Amino acid sequence: MDLTNAQMRDIETLIHPYTNLDVFRQTGPVVMERGEGIHVWDTNGKQYIEGLAGLWCTSLGYNERELIDAAMEQFSTLPYTHTFAGKSHERAIELAEMIKEIAPHDASKVLFCGSGSEANDQQIKLVWYYNNARGRPDKKKIISRKRAYHGVTVATASLTGLPANQMDFDLPIDRIHHVNCPFAYREAEPGETDDAFTDRLATELDAFIEAQGPGTVAAFIAEPIQGAGGVLIPAEGYFPKIKKVLDRHDVYFIADEVICGFGRTGNMFGSETFDMQPDSISVAKALSSAYLPIGAVTVGEDMYQAMLDESRKIGVFGHGYTYTAHPVCAAVAVKTLEIYKKRDIVGHVRRIAPVFEERFTRLGEHPLVGNARAKGLIGAVELVADKATKRSFDPALKVGATCQARAEDEGLLSRALGGDIVALCPPLIIQEDEVHEVFDRLERALDATEHWVNKEGLRSA
């Protein structure tokens, strides 16, 4: 394959996240050029539907004038100031007020940062800080779940429950543990009902905390829907049962709303859709429709009081980034939240979601699809060698990645996750006819993948 000048310069200069760096040297990158609405174009002029909203984040689509204007206005008034040592600015105050107002728990304060990883990293630090403030120096363990995705810093890659994020990075760090996740298709026993399965997971969590010693377990962190781990949608009763266990052992509950926050599941937060009742949330991505990097965590009054105590003792809250509450990022986030309200984005998702979910249900009948699942505007198909036994393909065959590539041929960007799971999570502004176009393209990609699987005899491989 002939590589363009830009592709060759890329290969010799950039390290690409989540890429096989060796294979990449032969294939080179797809270089993107521009976007409009739910579409992006590469430098060859090929148009794609952004079926994953970038990385589950460009909720308002591309070229949203109001966001661009908000950024430009802030750039020309005050492109940078900070919030260290008592300085502030109007956009940070406004944004914190807006987040407090919609947060799915009693939020007292908001602590900003630059990304989802930083948000969850802050959560860990705050939980440790809190327990020191409260005179419980042993209550420090954090429980996450297998297949979780909470980021890639040293601490948050430890929370993440995916092997590639930890292998040979010498992770996880200590005091972080993983329990089973509510992945019914793979983890429920044959014939086990949702109720029995979620009871079992809650009992397992309870037993795990007991075994560790409740006096050593500080927090539990969970995504409402596990995104990068495979779009794992919990059964209705799961989180209320988990919450009861956490309350019994005085374990702080962090909802990682980095993907599910701001309308994705048909409520403002996934915590509402799944009745999580968290003590705190982490947000990023759709907070600014991904136009600029910004994240945040909310803290309740009890946490805030503990932080005040630490400031009295130590003399300072010794944490913060140069770009904490960056004014241009904050201005874009304020505008993003205004647009969600003004255009009733949650209502729009609720109107469109039944079409999206129904098309996923139909995909379940495809010969390659073992399981199709969706909630709101996020969903996935899991490709299997045998639908009856749920037997997976050999991962080395890269059946999911092949389907993603065939979808790309059809002009649809999706994301192949581990376990041959192909995910969709389009911009929230997607219209009904565009949803149909997404699925028509994905169906053609699945047909092409099925054809290849049969031709190469991969089911018996």
Ligand X SMILES: Cc1ncc(COP(=O)(O)O)c(C=O)c1O
| CA 329 to mean position of chain CA atoms | 19
Quick one: 89 or 150, whose CB is closer to ligand X?
Answer: 150
Footprint of ligand X (CB under 6 A)? 55, 115-117, 120, 149-151, 223, 227-228, 256, 258-259, 284
- Nearest-approach distance from CB 415 to ligand X, in angstroms: 10
What residues form DSSP beta bridges with 282?
A: 256, 297
Quick one: 116 or 234, whose CB is closer to ligand X?
Answer: 116
Quick one: 256 or 437, whose CB is closer to ligand X?
Answer: 256
Quick one: 155 or 412, whose CB is closer to ligand X?
Answer: 155
Quick one: 384 or 425, whose CB is closer to ligand X?
Answer: 425
- Nearest-approach distance from CB 107 to ligand X, in angstroms: 18
Total residue count of the chain as it appears in this document: 461
Distance between CA 158 and CA 178 in Å, rounded? 9
Helix (H), strand (E), coil (C) string for the chain: CCCCHHHHHHHCCCCCCCCCHHHHHHHCCCCEEEEEECEEEECCCCEEEECCHHHHCCCCCECCHHHHHHHHHHHHHCCCCCCHHHCCCHHHHHHHHHHHHHCCCCCCEEEEECCHHHHHHHHHHHHHHHHHHCCCCCCCEEEEECCCCCCCCHHHHHHCCCHHHCCCCCCCCCCEEEECCCCHHHHCCCCCCHHHHHHHHHHHHHHHHHHHCHHHEEEEEECCCECCCCCECCCCCHHHHHHHHHHHCCCEEEEECCCCCCCCCCCCCHHHHCCCCCCEEEECHHHCCCCCCCEEEEECHHHHHHHHHHHHHHCCCCCCCCCCCCHHHHHHHHHHHHHHHHCCHHHHHHHHHHHHHHHHHHHCCCCCEEEEEEECCEEEEEECCECCCCECCCHHHCHHHHHHHHHHHCCEECEEECCCEEEECCCCCCCHHHHHHHHHHHHHHHHHHHHHHHHCCHHHC
- Nearest-approach distance from CB 57 to ligand X, in angstroms: 8
Instruction: For tokens 């630059």, name the residue.
Output: 114
Quick one: 74 or 120, whose CB is closer to ligand X?
Answer: 120
Quick one: 152 or 251, whose CB is closer to ligand X?
Answer: 152
- Nearest-approach distance from CB 231 to ligand X, in angstroms: 11
- Nearest-approach distance from CB 127 to ligand X, in angstroms: 16
- Nearest-approach distance from CB 309 to ligand X, in angstroms: 29
Distance between CA 428 and CA 417 in Å, rounded? 21
Quick one: 150 or 243, whose CB is closer to ligand X?
Answer: 150
- Nearest-approach distance from CB 158 to ligand X, in angstroms: 13
- Nearest-approach distance from CB 215 to ligand X, in angstroms: 28
> Looking at beta carbons, which residue is closest to ligand X?
116
- Nearest-approach distance from CB 284 to ligand X, in angstroms: 5
- Nearest-approach distance from CB 365 to ligand X, in angstroms: 29
Quick one: 227 or 400, whose CB is closer to ligand X?
Answer: 227
Quick one: 182 or 370, whose CB is closer to ligand X?
Answer: 182
Instruction: For tokens 């399965």, name the residue.
Output: 197
